């Protein structure tokens, strides 16, 4: 081969080095570039708040805000479902009212955490941080996470955080591999940067009792908090409860167009271009069919049409569906609070603290009906702390004592409320007993209800379609959830979103299965959901097929855990049909009975025929044999074949139940490393851990 001339080498070198240089500059300036192209979050927030972008720019320096407002403590929250936000608000209220310390709560994405290095030493910063997915931060904490995890974080003035005193509580689920990963890694990072943690790091386990973990941690945290700030409980008088929100009824409201009736996003300006996202979901048309046969259970395949929106997805992402509370529970709670005759009265609810970072808990003004139906999670079990706050408003000494007992006795609460899954309306009925009648608890102020019940959140589902094959029609696979709690087998608990979806399906397809279900307002606010629509947005996921389709994949997904794998298999079959080389594709699927709940039974043969003889589906039907057989058993039976695929750089995907199935599958792969790889047990565990760390063992699981 002829050698290139020196001049050509110089030119190539210049181009190569120039490319590296430009790439380096782009990396370090990535935030500034993104803001120029897409606009900053700060700008976006300001424009959304004032509608025309003319309001004063929000101050991003939280330390400056604290100093201007005389705050000694700030409670940052990283929240995906609203629980961390709720905990931060509860801590702030106790901090203010019980210990007399001026404080504030803050959504972590609304402030620039580069100023952590300037927090005065006589202040405290709380971090209430949830972990979701594979040890990932919540959506609102991503920017801060990226800043903190940089090799050399760029703070405003200093290279370290020796001035920072902080308190940490993490929310997680022990059934997940990366339990409370965000709080743990943040804690380690802060320590390395010289910050001082006050008290023990708290960790709440949503698989057991997150609420009890939180309350127990608080008991130990407050004394250390008092020592750190030089205060005690006697700093403030034990007077009447101080409201967090003001509530004003607007009975004379003539312009009902300005009243929110359940709309999730702000009302758009006329002619404005609408961008649909988590803050403004898209009302998408849907079609549906029941996948189960010969059984009284239901599993819906739903097609969500996002053609007329900006929404896009990648195979493996999640879709968020915003549910509506059922009318039975709306009626129950309104009746107990004496609001049945006022359900259509508009109310303005806003924070009493004029400097609060969140001035409104939901879109306002809104009617009582829309608040119960769309904005508050009224079907969620009531917390012990809420029950304690209700004691002083109980109408009789007898009901006071029952509430006091439920709030103080952990076992009593667990049996009567926690494990019985009683929501607030049901608890009030239970406490009232034979005395229950409309308005029995009309002494409870509405602001306490708003303060005590979290905001109704969307439910997330693994997308079961391929973006390559179906870019504008998103498939969802959802089992309708109904069950009888062990302590109260005479009661039925209905899953909030899946029963809403089932009622949409039943109404559209004129299905009558003879079972009793709660009723829903299916038309939505101002009939915006008429024609069978649901509000949706997309959440990005790390659960993705290898970039190289030739890489072997091993998928384990029993029940609705097969949902993302339907998308994966469709994607690989489409690639194969295009003539691309596609590696072996193994799918382990399990269900109860091949004639009842074998999901997408009619689709798989054609898909695997397209993929070729190296690919196949292996099934486990647990109720068709004397001894129950699950996917982990089938996986073990095919261990040699699976191990050979791993030796060829294969990737493992697991979706479904985190508590039992995912753990058993993990152990099965450890066993493979011992049996076929000749590793010791310790080395086998390390091998599987390395697969996870390198992205070759991915999970999309739930408890």
CA separation, residue 202 to residues 291, 418, 437 (Å): 43, 21, 41
Of 146, 94, 109, 104, the C-alpha closest to 124 is 104
pLDDT of residue 237: 52
pLDDT, mean of residues 164-193: 94
CA-derived radius of gyration, the chain = 27
Half-sphere exposure of 648 (CA within 13 A, CB side): 15
pLDDT in tens, 140-162: 999 999 999 999 999 999 999 99
Residue the block writes with tokens 């399906």:
505
With beta carbons less than 8 A apart as the criterion, state whether 91 and 104 touch. no
Q: Which residues neighbour 276 within 8 Å (Cβ) at sequence distance 6 or greater?
A: 282, 309, 310, 311, 537
Residue the block writes with tokens 């069950």:
483
With beta carbons less than 8 A apart as the criterion, state whether 329 and 382 touch. no
With beta carbons less than 8 A apart as the criterion, state whether 448 and 393 touch. yes
Higher pLDDT, 21 or 230: 230
CA separation, residue 473 to residues 285, 361, 528, 532, 577 (Å): 10, 33, 20, 15, 20
pLDDT, mean of residues 455-482: 97
pLDDT in tens, 248-270: 999 887 789 999 999 998 888 88
pLDDT in tens, 534-591: 999 999 999 999 999 999 999 999 999 999 999 999 999 999 999 999 999 999 999 9
Quote the DSSP letter at residue 381. Answer: B
Q: Which residues neighbour 431 within 8 Å (Cβ) at sequence distance 6 or greater?
A: 394, 399, 402, 403, 406
Residues designated catalytic: 462, 655, 700, 702
With beta carbons less than 8 A apart as the criterion, state whether 349 and 447 touch. yes
With beta carbons less than 8 A apart as the criterion, state whether 523 and 301 touch. no
pLDDT at 532 over 60: yes
> CA 574, CA 218: separation in Å to the nearest integer?
53
pLDDT of residue 258: 92
- Three-state SS at 555: strand
Quote the DSSP letter at residue 376. Answer: B
> CA 327, CA 378: separation in Å to the nearest integer?
11
pLDDT of residue 31: 43
Q: Which stretches within 476-544 are classed as H helix?
A: 496-509
Q: 319: which strand partners? A: 461, 538
Q: Which residues neighbour 581 within 8 Å (Cβ) at sequence distance 6 or greater?
A: 549, 550
> CA 574, CA 652: separation in Å to the nearest integer?
20
Of 328, 352, 566, the C-alpha closest to 469 is 566
pLDDT in tens, 37-84: 334 444 443 433 333 334 457 799 999 999 999 999 999 999 988 899
Reported confidence tier of residue 236, pLDDT bands at 50, 70, 90: low
Q: Which two tokens stand for residue 67?
A: 């100093």
Quote the DSSP letter at residue 280. Answer: B
> How is 215-260 classified by DSSP, letter by letter?
HHHHHHHHHHHHHHHT--GGGS---SPPPSEEEEE-TT---GGGSB
pLDDT, mean of residues 436-460: 96
- Three-state SS at 99: helix
pLDDT of residue 48: 37
With beta carbons less than 8 A apart as the criterion, state whether 423 and 329 touch. yes
With beta carbons less than 8 A apart as the criterion, state whether 119 and 160 touch. no
pLDDT of residue 543: 95
As a three-state string, the secondary structure of 120-184 is CCCCEEEEEEEEECCCEECHHHHHHHHHHHCCCCCCCCCCCCCCCEEEEEEEECCCCCCCCHHHH
Sheet holding 245-249, edge to edge: 245-249, 346-351, 366-367
> CA 680, CA 671: separation in Å to the nearest integer?
10
With beta carbons less than 8 A apart as the criterion, state whether 575 and 583 touch. no
> CA 449, CA 355: separation in Å to the nearest integer?
22
- 197's enclosing H/E stretch is strand 196-197
pLDDT of residue 703: 72
pLDDT at 11 over 50: no
Of 632, 612, 557, 620, the C-alpha closest to 593 is 620
End-to-end, the C-alpha distance of the chain in Å comes to: 62
- Three-state SS at 525: helix
């Amino acid at each position: 081969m002829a050698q290139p001339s020196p001049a050509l080498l110089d030119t190539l070198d210049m181009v190569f080095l120039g490319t590296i240089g430009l790439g380096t500059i782009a990396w370090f300036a990535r935030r500034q570039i993104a803001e120029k192209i897409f606009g900053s979050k700060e700008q976006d927030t300001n424009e959304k708040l004032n509608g025309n972008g003319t309001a004063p720019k929000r101050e991003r320096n939280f330390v400056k805000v604290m100093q201007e407002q005389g705050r000694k403590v700030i409670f940052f929250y990283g929240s995906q479902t609203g629980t961390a936000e709720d905990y931060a608000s509860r801590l702030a209220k106790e901090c203010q009212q019980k210990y007399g310390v001026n404080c504030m709560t803050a959504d972590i994405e609304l402030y620039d955490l580069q100023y952590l290095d300037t927090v005065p030493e006589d202040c405290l910063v709380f971090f209430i941080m949830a972990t979701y997915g594979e040890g990932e931060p919540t959506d609102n904490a991503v920017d801060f996470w990226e800043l903190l995890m940089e090799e050399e974080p760029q703070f405003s003035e200093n290279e370290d955080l020796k001035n920072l005193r902080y308190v940490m509580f993490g929310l997680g689920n022990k059934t997940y591999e990366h339990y409370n990963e965000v709080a743990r890694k943040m804690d380690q990072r802060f320590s390395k940067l010289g910050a001082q943690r006050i008290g023990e790091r708290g960790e709440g386990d949503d698989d057991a009792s997150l609420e009890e973990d939180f309350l127990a941690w608080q008991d130990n945290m407050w004394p250390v908090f008092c020592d750190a700030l030089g205060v005690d409980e006697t700093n403030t008088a034990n007077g009447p409860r101080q409201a967090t929100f003001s509530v004003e009824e607007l009975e004379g409201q003539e312009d009902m167009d300005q009243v929110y009736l359940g709309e999730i996003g702000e009302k758009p300006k006329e002619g404005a271009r609408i961008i649909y996202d988590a803050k403004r979901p898209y009302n998408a048309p849907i079609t549906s069919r029941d996948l189960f046969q010969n059984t009284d259970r239901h599993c819906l395949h739903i097609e969500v049409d996002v053609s007329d929106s900006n929404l896009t997805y990648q195979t493996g992402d999640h879709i968020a569906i915003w549910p509506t509370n059922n009318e039975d529970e709306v009626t129950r709670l309104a009746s107990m609070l004496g609001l049945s005759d006022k359900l259509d009265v508009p109310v303005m609810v806003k924070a009493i603290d004029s400097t609060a970072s969140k001035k409104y808990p939901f879109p306002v003004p809104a009617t009582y009906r829309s608040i119960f139906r769309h904005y508050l999670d009224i079907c969620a079990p009531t917390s012990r702390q809420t029950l304690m706050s209700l004691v002083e408003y109980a109408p009789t000494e007898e009901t006071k004592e029952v509430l006091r007992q439920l709030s103080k006795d952990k076992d009593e609460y667990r049996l009567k409320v926690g494990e019985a899954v009683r929501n607030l309306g049901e608890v009030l009925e239970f406490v009232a007993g034979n005395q229950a009648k409309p308005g029995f608890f009309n002494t409870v102020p509405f602001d306490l209800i708003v303060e005590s019940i979290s905001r109704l959140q969307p439910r997330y589902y693994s997308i079961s379609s391929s973006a390559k094959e179906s870019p504008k029609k998103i498939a969802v696979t959802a089992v309708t959830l109904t069950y009888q709690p062990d302590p109260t087998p005479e009661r039925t608990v209905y899953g909030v979103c899946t029963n809403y979806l089932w009622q949409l399906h039943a109404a559209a397809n004129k299905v009558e299965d003879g079972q009793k279900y709660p009723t829903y307002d299916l038309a939505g606010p101002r009939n915006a959901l008429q024609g069978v629509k649901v509000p949706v947005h997309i959440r990005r996921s790390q659960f993705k097929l290898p970039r190289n389709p030739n890489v072997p994949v091993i998928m384990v997904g029993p029940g609705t855990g097969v949902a993302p794998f339907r998308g994966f298999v469709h994607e690989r079959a489409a690639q194969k049909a295009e003539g691309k080389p596609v590696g072996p594709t193994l799918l382990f699927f399990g269900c109860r009975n091949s004639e009842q709940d074998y999901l997408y039974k009619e689709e798989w043969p054609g898909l695997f025929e397209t993929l070729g003889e190296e690919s196949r589906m292996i099934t486990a039907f647990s109720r068709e044999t004397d001894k129950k057989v699950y996917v982990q058993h089938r996986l073990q039976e095919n261990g040699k074949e699976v191990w050979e695929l791993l030796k060829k750089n294969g990737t493992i995907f697991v979706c479904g139940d985190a508590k039992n199935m995912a753990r058993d599958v993990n152990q099965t792969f450890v066993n493979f490393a011992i049996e076929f790889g000749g590793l010791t047990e310790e080395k086998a565990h390390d091998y599987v851990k390395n697969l996870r760390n390198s992205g070759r063992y991915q999970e999309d699981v739930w408890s």
